């Protein structure tokens, strides 16, 4: 007899399927299963030589952290991205398309911090040309070397942009000497590596760089078949509460259209909307076009291949099969979740000579950040400290996450996300520690110090008030003013403020003006309405939350 909770063997399933006249797809988490699933797609027309057309080049900007990659892209795009990045360092893959002399060029900006190795590798794999940015005052650094290795492994041309030549201590010749050690010999020295000296801040040498990129792109003769079903790669993915799972994809061949059935890793669905890097909705995306896709069933993993499916049924079969396969592998992979210890108690357990297991629940804003945080924390493991991930996910910190952390005695880490008021209250009553970070090296530094018992005095953030944006008023000279209702606490003029949309931090700053009717006031209490003007932030929407907070120092004992 077989009960409802027992598993069937492969032979039993096949026999039963034969008996009832059904087809069965056996899921084996290996290469054979992927081959079977890919056979469901018919790619017979994709490689037709007569259909090949010239496509825009995909250029990835790589290099060490703080060497000027994003500033260079800012200049090319004439938009200030750095101002919006925590600590001025890129922590996501950004994909943009720009037009130069009537020709389109796709740029991918990769993070330079050591923790984002996989994201750099992904950038190199989907690219045609790599621009390696090296600061003239800093020279070749660890992530520069890693970027060179990724680019060489992907077998793509490398252009070196020697940035910050306007600095007093800049030494471009030293940079060229260092690069020659890694087989990147400049043309001026008889090699074949194009080197452009530039300054992104001063807008020097950027036109020269773009000209060189255009020449290489023409020599590469980049083509793709724009006809037929789309295929490409997921660069980044996140969960947006208003829009659901959102994936940033780069189309490799074919054309992705609104309404197409699609499968990306274990996620599947129908394309509800395509959004370009300027936030505009578009009807279709051809080869080398980066675009945000809405309509997937779940958040795909960054680096997953995406394909347009023949129909929604096929997409669902493939996605569900891959999802099952991944669940089987993850269950095999981490079986250490029981009997964990919290972060603040970990050092005492190590001193007692016991092996401590640090249970963690990790929430991040996007899939790539989640991957980088997980990999980096895994590297902190030592014989006396093991790390077990109870749960990893994208999106704001919810009450479910708090409950899970309380049940498994886990510490909750939020990267670029925040808990809402109910989650905070629950965490307080359940005595769950929530640690939130916006810069990855601060997160890793804290974890390492905790393991060594060296946690320095820290500042505790105390949320003093929370206001909900009900309406937006546009005032000449002042810009957007948020008409708000104070939900909890007290909102005071001049306090630090955090701006939340669907649990994700989108801006930090301070309250510039606070009014009740026509009067300027110093503070507004719970239950009242007021008008709030924020410094340097205009992207206001009804339903957003304004959270005020102050920092109080706690001495570690």
Sequence ranges of the domains in the chain? 1-36, 56-222, 225-330, 343-456, 461-554
Q: With beta carbons less than 8 A apart as the criterion, state whether 88 and 66 touch.
A: yes
Which 3-state string (H, E, C) describes 309-357?
A: CCCHHHHHHHHHHHHHHHHHHHHHHCCCCCCCECHHHHHHHHHCCCCEE
Half-sphere exposure of 374 (CA within 13 A, CB side): 20
Q: What is the pLDDT of residue 178?
A: 83
Integer Rg of the chain from CA: 26
pLDDT at residue 485 is higher than 90: yes
Q: Which two tokens stand for residue 520?
A: 């300027």
Q: Which of 457, 438, 459, 435 is nearest to 447 (CA)?
A: 435
Topology annotation, domain 343-456: Rossmann fold (3.40.50)
56-222: what fold? Rossmann fold (3.40.50)
For residue 453, give both structure tokens. Answer: 């018992």
Tokens for 233? 């790669």
Largest CA distance in the chain: 82
Task: Give me the mean pLDDT over the 491-505 stretch.
Answer: 84
Q: What is the pLDDT of residues 72-114, one digit of tens each?
A: 877 777 644 444 444 444 444 567 777 766 778 888 777 644 4
Question: What single string gives the DSSP state of each residue in 63-93?
Answer: ESTTSSHHHHHHHHHT---GGGSGGG---S-
Question: Which whole number is the average pLDDT over 151-180?
Answer: 82
Q: Return the pLDDT at 336.
A: 45
Q: What number is the average pLDDT over the span 209-230?
A: 81
Instruction: Return the bridge partners of 523, or none.
Output: 492
Whether 501 and 554 have beta carbons less than 8 Å apart is answered as: no
The fraction of the chain above a pLDDT of 70, given in percent, is 81
Full-model pTM? 0.58
The residues facing 411 across adjacent strands are: 360
Question: Residue 220, Cβ neighbours under 10 Å: how many?
Answer: 13
Out of 13-17, 362-366, 383-387, least confident range = 383-387
Q: How far apart are CA 95 and CA 117, in angstroms?
A: 17
Beta bridge partners of 262: 269, 308
Which pLDDT score, from 0 to 100, does residue 440 have? 80
Over residues 290-307, mean pLDDT:
85
Categorize the per-residue pLDDT at 390 as very low, low, confident or very high, splitting at 50, 70 and 90: confident
CB 337 within 8 A of CB 408: yes
Spatial contact of 284 and 274, defined as CB atoms under 8 Å apart: yes
Ramachandran area for residue 367 (φ above 0: left; ψ -120 to 50: alpha; else beta): alpha
Q: What is 225-330's CATH number?
A: 2.40.30.10
Q: How far is residue 284 from each of residues 100, 265, 269, 494, 502, measured CA to CA in Å?
A: 21, 21, 16, 46, 28
- Sheet of 356-364: strand order equals 385-394, 356-364, 411-415, 434-437
Q: Which residues pair with 480 in a beta bridge?
A: 474
Question: Which pLDDT tens digit goes with each residue over 454-479?
Answer: 444 566 778 889 999 998 888 877 77
281 versus 534: the higher-pLDDT residue is 281
The arithmetic mean of pLDDT across residues 121-133, rounded, is 73
Of 254 and 26, more confident: 254
User: Two tokens at 323?
Assistant: 């999802």
Choice among 29-38, 351-360, 460-469, 507-516 with the minimum mean pLDDT? 29-38
For helices 399-408 and 421-430, angle between their N-to-C axes, nearest 10 degrees: 20
pLDDT band at 266 (very low <50, low <70, confident <90, very high): confident
Backbone angles phi, psi at 263, to 5 degrees: -130, 130
Average pLDDT over residues 218-225: 79
pLDDT at 203 over 60: yes
Mind listing the pLDDT tens digit for each residue in 326-339? 666 655 544 444 45
Contacts for 517 with CB less than 8 Å, ≥ 6 apart = none
> Residues 394, 301: contact at Cβ < 8 Å?
no
Specify the range with the lowest mean pLDDT, choosing from 114-128, 131-145, 194-208.
Answer: 114-128
Q: What is the pLDDT of residue 94?
A: 67
- What is the pLDDT at residue 555? 52
Tell me phi and psi for residue 404, to 5 degrees.
-65, -45
* Mean pLDDT value across residues 277-305: 84
Looking at residue 484, its pLDDT comes to 92
User: Does residue 506 register a pLDDT over 70?
Assistant: yes
Domains 56-222 and 461-554 share a fold: no
Using the predicted structure, report yes or no on whether residue 211 has a pLDDT greater than 90.
no
Does residue 556 have a pLDDT over 60?
Answer: no
In this prediction, residues 30-44 reach a mean pLDDT of 54
Question: Could you give the CA distance from residue 116 to residue 232 in angstroms, rounded to a whole number?
Answer: 21
User: Given the structure tokens 């925590």, which residue do they identify?
Assistant: 86
Length of the chain in terms of residues written:
557
Q: What is the CATH number of domain 461-554?
A: 2.40.30.10
Q: List, as one string, the DSSP characters of 20-32.
A: HT-------TTHH
The pLDDT of residue 242 is: 75
Lowest mean pLDDT segment, chosen from 87-96, 260-269, 316-325, 426-435 = 87-96
Could you say which DSSP state residue 376 is in? H
What is the number of alpha carbons within 13 Å of residue 294 lying toward its C-beta?
14
Residue 402 burial (CB < 10 Å; 0-12/13-18/19+)? buried
Are 384 and 355 spatial neighbours (Cβ–Cβ below 8 Å)? yes
The dihedral over CA atoms of 198, 199, 204, 210, expressed in degrees to the nearest 10, equals 50
For 152, other C-beta atoms within 10 Å of its C-beta total: 15
């Amino acid at each position: 007899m077989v009960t409802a909770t027992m598993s069937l063997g492969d032979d039993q399933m096949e026999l039963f399927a034969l008996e009832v006249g059904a087809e069965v797809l056996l899921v084996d988490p290996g290469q054979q299963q992927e081959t079977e699933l890919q056979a469901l797609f018919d790619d017979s027309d994709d490689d037709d030589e007569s259909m090949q057309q010239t496509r825009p080049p995909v250029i990835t900007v790589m290099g060490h952290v703080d060497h000027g990659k994003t500033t260079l892209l800012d200049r090319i795009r004439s938009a200030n991205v750095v101002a919006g990045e925590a600590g001025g360092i890129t922590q996501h893959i950004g994909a943009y398309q720009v037009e130069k002399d009537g020709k389109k060029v796709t740029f991918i900006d990769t993070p330079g911090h050591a923790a984002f190795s996989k994201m750099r590798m992904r950038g190199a794999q989907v690219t045609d040309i790599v621009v390696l940015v090296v600061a003239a005052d800093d020279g070749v650094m660890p992530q520069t070397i890693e970027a060179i290795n990724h680019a060489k492994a992907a077998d793509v041309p490398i252009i070196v942009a020697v940035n910050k030549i306007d600095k007093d201590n800049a030494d471009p010749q030293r940079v060229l000497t260092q690069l020659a050690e890694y087989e990147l010999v400049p043309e001026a020295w008889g090699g074949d590596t194009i080197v452009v000296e530039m300054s992104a801040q001063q807008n020097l040498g950027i036109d020269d760089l773009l000209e060189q990129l255009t020449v290489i792109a023409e020599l590469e003769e980049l083509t793709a078949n724009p006809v037929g079903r789309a295929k490409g790669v997921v660069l980044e993915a996140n969960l947006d509460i208003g829009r659901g799972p959102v994936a940033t994809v780069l189309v490799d061949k074919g054309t992705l259209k609104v309404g197409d059935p699609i499968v990306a890793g274990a996620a599947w669905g129908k394309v509800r909307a395509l959004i370009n890097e300027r936030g505009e909705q578009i009807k279709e995306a051809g080869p080398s076009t980066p675009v945000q896709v809405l309509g997937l069933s779940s958040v795909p993993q960054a680096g997953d291949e995406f394909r347009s499916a023949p129909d929604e049924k096929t997409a669902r079969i493939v996605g569900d099969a891959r999802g099952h396969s991944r669940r089987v592998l993850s269950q095999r992979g981490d079986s250490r979740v029981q009997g964990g210890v919290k972060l603040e108690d970990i050092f005492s357990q190590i001193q007692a000579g016991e092996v401590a297991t640090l249970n963690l629940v990790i929430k991040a804003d996007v899939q790539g950040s989640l991957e980088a945080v997980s990999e980096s924390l895994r590297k902190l493991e030592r014989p006396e400290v093991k790390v077990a991930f109870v749960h990893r996910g994208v999106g704001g910190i919810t009450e479910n996450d708090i409950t899970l952390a309380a049940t498994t005695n886990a510490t909750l880490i939020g990267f670029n996300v925040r808990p809402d008021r109910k989650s905070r209250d629950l965490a307080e009553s359940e005595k769950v520690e929530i640690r939130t970070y916006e810069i990855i090296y601060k997160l890793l530094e804290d974890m390492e110090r905790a393991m060594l018992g060296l946690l320095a005095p820290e500042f505790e953030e105390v949320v003093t008030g929370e206001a909900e944006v009900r309406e937006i008023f546009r005032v000449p000279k002042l810009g957007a003013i948020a008409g708000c209702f104070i939900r909890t606490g007290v909102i005071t003029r001049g306090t630090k403020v955090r701006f939340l949309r669907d649990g994700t931090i989108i801006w930090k700053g301070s309250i510039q003006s606070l009014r009740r009717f026509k009067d300027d006031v110093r503070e507004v209490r719970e239950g009242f309405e007021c008008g709030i003007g924020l410094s340097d932030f205009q992207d206001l929407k009804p339903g957003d939350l304004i959270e005020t907070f102050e920092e109080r120092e706690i001495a570690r004992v």
